[in-house]
Amino acid sequence: MEKQSDSLINFISESAKIGKNVKIWHFSYVGNNTEIGDNVSIGSLVHIDYNVKIGENTRIEGSVYIPPLTKIGKNVFIGPCAAFTNDPYPMSPKMIGVMVEDGVIIGGRAVFRAGVTVGKNSVVAMGAVVTKDVPPDVVVMGHPATVRYTRDEYEAKKRNWNS
């Protein structure tokens, strides 16, 4: 793990498994039995609770909350202030995590209901409220999040924007 500054400003559990070339920025928390793959970047003020799994080459921006039992795949981008939940009926003693499959892009301030799965290569727009499973290769947005177009259409819009 590459240290960005004094290690006293972060808490990383001794039981957490941290891959190679992981960057954890200021004031972040990594809980017990969490596994973080290689080449992951974790922004400032991120809270990653216990029993979380994060795949390699994932980038998590600042102020993201990832509760226990969440699973995040490889090559995922999570924008600032996204929040995942793990209790569909607070304060229930039974919890279930969110599953984010490989290649997903999540915009800032997106919120996820406990137990949902975000399908491979999907995009969740900024501010979306995800209350049900997201199919693979689509873009969802809104409150509640609904499918608006395909990932291929997203990539075409992105190419057009960048040209």
pLDDT of 58-108, one tens digit each?
Answer: 999 999 999 999 999 999 999 999 999 999 898 999 999 999 999 999 999
CATH number of 2-162: 2.160.10.10
Interval 158-163 mean pLDDT:
95
User: What residues have CB less than 8 Å from 161, skipping those under 6 apart?
Assistant: none
Q: Is the pLDDT of residue 6 over 90?
A: no
Q: So where are the chain's domains? A: 2-162
DSSP string, 42-53: E-TT-EE-TT-E
- Angle of CA points 18, 109, 16, to nearest 5°: 15
Which phi and psi (to 5°) does residue 43 adopt? -75, 180
- Take residue 66 and report the two structure tokens written for it: 């990832």
13-70 pLDDT, tens digit each: 999 999 999 999 999 999 999 999 999 999 999 999 999 999 999 999 999 999 999 9
* Residue 4 vs residue 142, higher pLDDT: 142
> Which pairs from 61-68 meet CB under 8 Å and 24+ separation?
61/108, 62/25, 67/95, 67/97, 68/31, 68/95, 68/97
**Which residue in 65, 98, 67, 105 sits closest to 82, CA to CA?**
65
Rounded Cα distance, 40 and 93, in Å: 31
So what's the pLDDT on residue 7?
A: 55
So what's the pLDDT on residue 9?
A: 84
**Which residue in 21, 137, 117, 139 sits closest to 70, CA to CA?**
117
